[in-house]
Amino acid sequence: MNPMMAAKAYASIQGGAMPAAPAAGPAQAGFADLLSNVMGDMTQASKAAETQMTSMVQGQGSLIDVVTAVSSAEASLETVMAVRDQVIAAYQEIMRMPI
């Protein structure tokens, strides 16, 4: 998630006007792009944690860096799982709708 998304979410909850997003190109990012970005962030966080753990095992890293990287990776994974759960719940709700 980026600060612009957080600002939009806060504004929508408060009922205020949402700030305009910077122009990213001719097409606006969709839900698939959001999921792709979240998965990419989770993958990067996991790789960073693995790198920190490897350097710690080799005696070159700091324990604080390892704990921070692992916590970041865990938070990213929990975000991905929460998004997955919401997508599954939405799909199940759609499937229960009468035609």
How do the domains of the chain map onto residue ranges? Answer: 28-96
Spatial separation of the C-alpha atoms in residues 16 and 10, rounded to whole Å = 9
Q: Is the pTM of this model over 0.85?
A: no
- Give per-residue pLDDT as tens, 25-43: 545 667 788 778 888 888 8
- Give per-residue pLDDT as tens, 51-87: 888 888 888 878 888 888 888 888 888 888 888 899 8
pLDDT of residue 93: 93
Spatial separation of the C-alpha atoms in residues 67 and 89, rounded to whole Å = 33
Question: Where does the pLDDT of residue 95 fall: very low under 50, low under 70, confident under 90, or very high at 90 and above?
Answer: very high
Spatial separation of the C-alpha atoms in residues 80 and 88, rounded to whole Å = 12
DSSP annotation of 55: H
